[in-house]
Structure 1
Amino acid sequence: MPLPNGVSPTGEIQSICPSAGWLGNRGTLHDANGAIVRPWQRKAWVTCLLSYKGRNRKPLMQPGRYTELFFLDEATALAAGHRPCGECRREDYNHFKRAWVLGNKRTNDTTIADIDLAMHAERTSAMDDHSRMHELGSLPPGVLVVWAERPHLWRGNLLLKWSPKGYVAVASGWLMTSNVRLITPPSVAHALGAGYVARLHESARQFG
C-alpha cells in the first residue's frame, strides 16, 4: 500500500512512497494540518525499521510528533543523507559508525554527533559542486549517482535506473571511466567503501 512522504535519493520529500522499505526521521516537519512546512528540523537524520517492538505509529503525522518519512531501500536513504537509527537498528548503527570512521580516516573518539554534523554539511552543500564528479569505476557499490540525468544505483558492475517503485532497468552506454555525479554524500560513500553494505530493494536482484 502506498504511504505518504516518500523521499527521493536527493532527499526531496514527495507526496507518496509507492514501495516503502524503510522509515525515516528528521524531526517534526508538518503543521497541525498535516502539511510539510520544512525540509528538516534536526541534524540527526536516521533510518528506522518499519516496525519495532509493536509500536503503533498510526495515524501518521500526529500533531507535535516526528514526521514519518519513507524510502524505497537503504541505498536510497543513505543517498538522501540518513544513517541507521541507534535504537531500532543498533547493529547496523554500530557497523555504519565504524565504517564511517574508517572510511573517512577519523579517530576512534569520533562521536555520532560528529558524524551527523559532517553529513549535515554535505546535505546542505551544492549538489553541483565539482567534488561530486567521479569516475564510475572508482565508486563503491551501493552509492547512487546521476547518469543520463536520472538517479541510478551503482552495484560495482551494473548501473540500475532508480524509480520510486523500484529499480526498473539496466543502464547502457556507461564505462568504468564514465564521469558521473555522486548523489550519496561523500562521507557515506567512504563508509560504503570501508565495508558498510546498504540493503537494497528486492527489484535490484532481478538484474543479477
Structure 2
Amino acid sequence: MLLQNTVDPWSNLRRDKNRIVQFMGNRGVVHDQFREVKKTWDRKRWIFCVKDFKGIDRRPLFKTQPFSYSELFFLDEATAYAAGHRPCNDCRKAELAVFKELWASFPESLNSSMSIGVKEIDSQLHSERIDGQRKKATYRASLDSLPPGAMFSLDGHAYLVRLHGVRIWSSSGYSNTTLTPDVDVDVLTPKSIMQLIRLGLPVQVHESADA
C-alpha cells in the first residue's frame, strides 16, 4: 500500500513512489485505522527528524495500534522548513539549539527574560503556515529579495532559491530552470523561518540542487 506521507513544500501530503527521503517527521496522528490520511495535522507541534535514531524500528509505518504518530517524509531541510516544520528536540538537539538561539535574537524577543520555548515557537509557526481556511499560508515578495534556502511557488511549481539562480522542486530532487529575478512570487517558507535563514540558519538541500 502506497501511503500518503510524502510532504511537499506546500505542506500537502502526497502518495509518491518516486520520492527521495532524507528526513522524516510528524504532526501527530493524521491517519485512521485503514492507514488513510484523514486530516492534515493533529497538533501544532510539526517537527522533522533524522531517518534513523537509536536503532528505532518504525515499521510498519502508519501503525493502527497503538496510534502514536504518522510518519511523514521530506526530500530535504529546505522542503521541511517550507512546509512549516522545525527540528526535533530528541534526534536533532543541536540543530534545534541553533534554531532557538537565532529565534531569541528576533527584536520582539529581546525584552523577554525567559528562555524561548518550543511551545511558543510552535504556536507562532502554526499561525504563519495555516491561513483562515486551514490552507497553506503564503505571502508575496520579489524573487530577488529571497535568501538562498527559501522556497516559493509560481505557476503551480515550487522552487528553491540558491546562491546562483533557482531550482525547480520535485520529490525526487531538483532541476535547473531560469526565472526573471524581479518577478513577484508566493513565498512558501514561513516568515519566522525566513527571518532565521536571513540570520544564518543552515538549510540542508538535496545534492541535486547543485548538480
Tell me whether 1:138 sits opposite 2:141 in the alignment.
Answer: no
RMSD of aligned Cα (Å): 2.0
Please say if residues 99 and 192 of structure 1, whose CA atoms lie closer than 8 Å, have aligned partners that are also in contact: no
Tell me whether 1:124 sits opposite 2:133 in the alignment.
Answer: no
Question: Which residue, 144, 156, 164 being the options, matches 2:163?
Answer: 156
Quote the residue 1:52 is aligned against: 53
Instruction: Specify the code of the residue in structure 1 equivalent to 2:26.
Output: N
Following superposition, the deviation at residue 33 of structure 1 comes to 1.1
Question: What is the alpha-carbon distance in structure 1 between the residues aligned to residue 107 and residue 59 of structure 2?
Answer: 39
Quote the residue 1:83 is aligned against: 86
Quote the residue 1:19 is aligned against: 20
Question: What is the alpha-carbon distance in structure 2 between the residues aligned to residue 134 and residue 104 of structure 1?
Answer: 21
How does 1:1-208 map onto structure 2 within 5 Å? 5-16=5-16, 18-63=19-64, 64-103=67-106, 105-107=108-110, 109=114, 110-125=116-131, 132-169=139-176, 171-175=177-181, 177-206=182-211
Question: What is the alpha-carbon distance in structure 2 between the residues aligned to residue 103 and residue 21 of structure 1?
Answer: 29
Partner SS, residue 25 of structure 2: strand
Question: What is the alpha-carbon distance in structure 2 between the residues aligned to residue 76 and residue 128 of structure 1?
Answer: 14
Moved more, 13-22 or 46-55: 13-22
Instruction: Specify the code of the residue in structure 2 equivalent to 1:7.
Output: V
Question: What is the alpha-carbon distance in structure 1 between the residues aligned to residue 97 and residue 162 of structure 2?
Answer: 23
Question: What is the alpha-carbon distance in structure 2 between the residues aligned to residue 66 and residue 54 of structure 1?
Answer: 18
Partner SS, residue 105 of structure 2: helix
Following superposition, the deviation at residue 138 of structure 1 comes to 1.7
Following superposition, the deviation at residue 16 of structure 1 comes to 2.5
Superposition TM-score, scaled by structure 2 size: 0.88
Please say if residues 104 and 187 of structure 1, whose CA atoms lie closer than 8 Å, have aligned partners that are also in contact: no
Following superposition, the deviation at residue 178 of structure 1 comes to 2.3
**Structure 1: runs of 5+ lacking an equivalent:** none
Moved more, 114-123 or 9-18: 9-18
Question: What is the alpha-carbon distance in structure 2 between the residues aligned to residue 5 and residue 121 of structure 1?
Answer: 23
Following superposition, the deviation at residue 128 of structure 1 comes to 8.8
Question: What is the alpha-carbon distance in structure 1 between the residues aligned to residue 23 and residue 146 of structure 2?
Answer: 24
Change (3 A) 1:157 1:103: farther
Superposition TM-score, scaled by structure 1 size: 0.90
Please say if residues 165 and 178 of structure 2, whose CA atoms lie closer than 8 Å, have aligned partners that are also in contact: no
Please say if residues 133 and 181 of structure 1, whose CA atoms lie closer than 8 Å, have aligned partners that are also in contact: yes
